[in-house]
Structure 1
Amino acid sequence: MPDHIDRPDVGAAVRGAARDATRETTASEAAREAARDWSGETLRDALGLASEWTVDYRRRVEERPVLPDIAPGDVRRALAKAPPRAPEPFERVLADFDEHIVSGLTHWNHPGFLAYFSSSTRAPSIAAELLVAAVGVNAMLWRTSPAATEVERTAVDWLRQAVGLPDTFSGLIFDTASTSTFTALLAARERAGDGVRDDGLPGGPPLAVYTSEQSHSSVEKSAIAAGLGRRSVRRIETDAAFRMRPEALEAAIAADLERGIRPAMVCATIGTTSTASVDPVPALAAIAERTGVWLHVDAAYAGPAAMAPEQRAHFRGWEAADSIVLNPHKWLGTSLDCSVLLYRDVAPFRASLALTPTYLESEDDETNLMDIGLALGRRFRGLKLWMLFRCVGTDGLAETMRQHIAMSEAAAARLVEGGAFELAAPVSFSTVCFRAPREGDAAGEERLNREILARVNAGGRSFLSHTELDGRYTVRLSVGSVHTEERHLDEALDALHRAAADLSPGEPG
């Protein structure tokens, strides 16, 4: 054996462990002290600073560029690579937020945000979000937060009344329309699929979903998530105004039935994503009723416009739907996320997803919103919709949408003046689709319109988006921000005409 064997220095190890324990104790005490501090005046001071920042941000958001001039990774490189061991003062954190994070945001509350469907935020919703965070409830069961459940039910029913739907509809709030549509598809799948809930899809007949070629991608995504697969989705052709053709839907359903494929859902859209077109819902509802197919209406963007009586004609027939989705976090100005799913019969929803383990059983199961949808935990989203109605009122909400529609119609008229642009679709609600035409030169037309859009967006004052209609690149402008005024739209139109003139010398406009 060797004369000397290296043995661990037990004493040194113990002393080192003691030093580590002392450091951990000190850190723990600091953390506890910070937590105690945050329970009182520190929280009050932080909320004061945050509220001052919020008011100043909203007042001066117009001074910021809508789109940040950054590259992928820039924001992350400005942030610390590891979490701090010790607490930092809120003032420093807020300063970093303002300097490194806000400067890297696309400002959806900017009055020049005219892309997609705007999700701007009204002030009462901001206050409501603070209160939601303060109470921190989980409304999965009625008993885990009775008021949160009942406020949500009330706010949803107020929305139903405001848009003129009958009291045969009830509903609840999800995060986004994608989740609402997915949940509706699960209910439709259960009704059409002979025990899919327990046995899965392989044991039943193949199912099909029917929607317009202009509908939102969430319909296709829902079919993927529901296990039906993309091939189950039938994209029904549209007419010259980009509305689903009823005769084409009827033919597709008949062809599937002949092949032993069972129709599960028809999804009609009131306010499609690209053009805000309106499918002929009465005709589609009649087909769905005749064939026994679930009718879902996607009115995520346009649905709230039914608050204005003069817009109700666009919504004829939606009362016959089995389910409808509307997003208050779009046109109404409720902060993300707030998507309302309405339904005429709750039973298919409970049949598709309700599952109550013993530890969640209660005598109030019929009022448990967790049974309608995939998520168990549920935020107190109803509070901000309830507060929105209380602080703005249905007349105020409807008036904002009227103004947006009028601004969009005026913008369309000005765009075509002089011939620099043409409309690519009928103006619908507050959405305008247009392009600078180049007859006989498809590639040149696309390059031109891409460059026009790029120049306008690079200016920092306006942000527009694009789509494709009839195979042609199309610029898209949608007024929906609660902050947008006529002068902001005029600024965007001026920028569009300047870009078109610069890129097409000698052309009209």
Structure 2
Amino acid sequence: MLDKKSFRKEAHKLVDWMADFYENIENLPVKSLSKPGEIINQLPKNPPAKGESFDQVFKDFESIILPGMTQWQSPKFHAYFPANSSYPSVLGEMLTATLGAQCMIWETSPAAAELEELMINWLKPLMNIPAEWTGCIQDTASTATLAAMISAREKKSNWSINQSGFDNQKLKFYCSAETHSSIDKAVKILGAGVENLVKVEVDESLAIIPSSLESAIKSDIENGFIPCAVVAAVGTTGTLAIDPVDAIGDICKKYDVWLHIDAAYAGTALMLPEYHSMITGIAKADSFVFNPHKWMFTNFDCTVYFIKDEEALIKTFEILPEYLKTSTRGQVKDYRDWGVPLGRRFRALKLWFVIRDFGIEGIQTRLREHMSYAKWFANQVNENQHFELVIEPKLNVVCFRIIGSEKNEEQLDELNAKLVAAINNSGEAYLTHTKVKGKYALRMVIGQTYVQQHHVEESWQLIQDKANELL
């Protein structure tokens, strides 16, 4: 069993291992090559009766667990959206784990609450969020969106549903078919029923069509339903499509509907002044979410949730049992009232470390570099007769496919599925796919913290090599 002396010794060894891991991560398969059941079958079925040495535990970690991990911090990880880390973030996370604080209210750790408030205040002017808004740090965008949807439900029902439950409330929620699945989940959880989530038509760029949204709202009103909330995506998961916030905001204001903006990934680009136009009209919205843990070099989990009406949020989630009453209530922000969980991690610390270590200029430089690499990659696709872009690239995401000589769409889908499998099975890069207007497409996401031009070039060469083998 570890004691103070052995803890110090092993901790020093772990830090050296961590530094070596990052230096050598490019030599590991990006996507784990493990087969289903392979990990659990190497481990004992029952826990040990007596404690084991840390040396033995760590040997099993290296030989069994590590090969079963997909390397999200590899500069050749181009799948999904990144869950980025960085050196300052890792150090901040280590201190958070060491402190082991449960930061549910101000009194349980005043510095945690006030640093969280400071991070919100730092980010607002940088991202062009209205100065009068406030916010907090949640775990994921799914949780923040759920908080927004429940707040919208309560405000629309004058907080009666929290008190009495649904009583034939015919609430309707709206988003595009391109919006993240967390919206569907939120509508299920809050009790409205997924049948009352309206998927609105999109245009050629896969952004929601405002006139179609208004038509859907008007139709629902005529049929006795109550429009409750709209989710506008600033960067959809599939293609980074950007819904027209300003026009949607006008519609929401006209019909008294809550507007939530989901910018989970693309929101980080708002750190660049040239991308503030993505949220033109945000003052008409009610809430906004983005994930520093996706593209702002901060360890998962760390989601920033901004809200216009702080009191509406607190009124929705506030519960005050005797054991949580404090003398400072009303003078400070008790973030347990700002969302679903009572318990809260000290997430602000690692974000503070990242911003101070990189500086705003450092963050901006990295973001612009990632976008320049994506532009280079898109040009390579355009210039290669065997490939095509399936939609105009946005930010640092390129959706493309191999076309070969066969024009049958079903066969092209199969060919592209084989291509992405060949790439991932090589262990040398990791990409995922999406469907764009019905076409199977590969997504090249260039956003890992320390990715460089040569990594992108190597991945492009790999893609071409695997394509040539298939052709």
TM-score bracket for the superposition, by shorter chain length: over 0.9
Radius of gyration: which is bigger? 1
2:402 maps to which of 433, 436, 439: 436
Separation in 2, partners of 1:316, 1:285: 10
Question: What amino acid does structure 1 have at the position aligned with 2:193?
Answer: G
What's the CA shift for 1:293?
0.5
Separation in 2, partners of 1:299, 1:454: 29
Q: Summarize deviations over 1:5-34 as a string: whole Å, max 9, x none.
A: xxxxxxxxxxxxxxxxxxxxxxxxxxxxx4
Does structure 2 conserve the Cα–Cα contact (< 8 Å) formed by 1:193 and 1:204? no
Which residue number corresponds to residue 223 of structure 2? Answer: 259
Question: What amino acid does structure 2 have at the position aligned with 1:430?
Answer: N
Which residue number corresponds to residue 481 of structure 1? Answer: 448
Does structure 2 conserve the Cα–Cα contact (< 8 Å) formed by 1:193 and 1:207? no
| Alignment TM-score, normalising by the size of structure 2 | 0.97
1:420 maps to which of 386, 400, 411: 386
Which residue number corresponds to residue 79 of structure 2? Answer: 115
Q: How does 1:190-339 map to 2 (within 5 A)?
A: 190-194=154-158, 195-201=160-166, 203-339=167-303
Does structure 1 conserve the Cα–Cα contact (< 8 Å) formed by 2:240 and 2:394? yes
Separation in 1, partners of 2:257, 2:328: 32
What's the CA shift for 1:204?
4.8
Q: Which runs of 5+ in 1 are unaligned?
A: 1-33, 505-509
Which residue number corresponds to residue 26 of structure 1? Answer: none
Between stretches 86-95 and 97-106, larger displacement belongs to 86-95
Which residue number corresponds to residue 173 of structure 1? Answer: 137
What's the CA shift for 1:41?
1.6
Does structure 2 conserve the Cα–Cα contact (< 8 Å) formed by 1:270 and 1:303? yes
Which residue number corresponds to residue 366 of structure 2? Answer: 400
Q: Secondary structure at the match of 1:340?
A: strand
Q: Secondary structure at the match of 2:433?
A: strand
Q: Summarize deviations over 1:162-220 as a string: whole Å, max 9, x none.
A: 2122221211111111001001101001011241111111x153101110111000001
Does structure 2 conserve the Cα–Cα contact (< 8 Å) formed by 1:205 and 1:260? no
Which residue number corresponds to residue 448 of structure 1? Answer: 415
Separation in 1, partners of 2:112, 2:384: 55
Does structure 2 conserve the Cα–Cα contact (< 8 Å) formed by 1:425 and 1:433? yes
Q: Summarize deviations over 1:314-373 as a string: whole Å, max 9, x none.
A: 222223321000100000110010011100111221222211111111233342111111
Aligned length: 467
Q: Secondary structure at the match of 2:293?
A: coil
What's the CA shift for 1:440?
4.4
Q: Secondary structure at the match of 2:292?
A: coil
Does structure 1 conserve the Cα–Cα contact (< 8 Å) formed by 2:246 and 2:281? yes
Separation in 2, partners of 1:88, 1:465: 40
Question: What amino acid does structure 2 have at the position aligned with 1:307?
Answer: M
What's the CA shift for 1:115?
0.6
Does structure 2 conserve the Cα–Cα contact (< 8 Å) formed by 1:190 and 1:352? yes
Q: How does 1:76-87 map to 2 (within 5 A)?
A: 76-87=40-51
Q: Secondary structure at the match of 1:296?
A: strand
Q: Secondary structure at the match of 1:180?
A: helix
Question: What amino acid does structure 1 have at the position aligned with 2:384?
Answer: G
Question: What amino acid does structure 2 have at the position aligned with 1:420?
Answer: H
Does structure 2 conserve the Cα–Cα contact (< 8 Å) formed by 1:271 and 1:299? yes
Q: Summarize deviations over 1:380-439 as a string: whole Å, max 9, x none.
A: 111111111111111111111111111111101101213211111111111011112366
Does structure 2 conserve the Cα–Cα contact (< 8 Å) formed by 1:190 and 1:196? yes
What's the CA shift for 1:86?
2.1
Q: Summarize deviations over 1:276-315 as a string: whole Å, max 9, x none.
A: 1111111111111111100000011011111111222222
Q: Secondary structure at the match of 1:183?
A: helix
Q: Which runs of 5+ in 2 are unaligned?
A: none
Which residue number corresponds to residue 348 of structure 1? Answer: 312
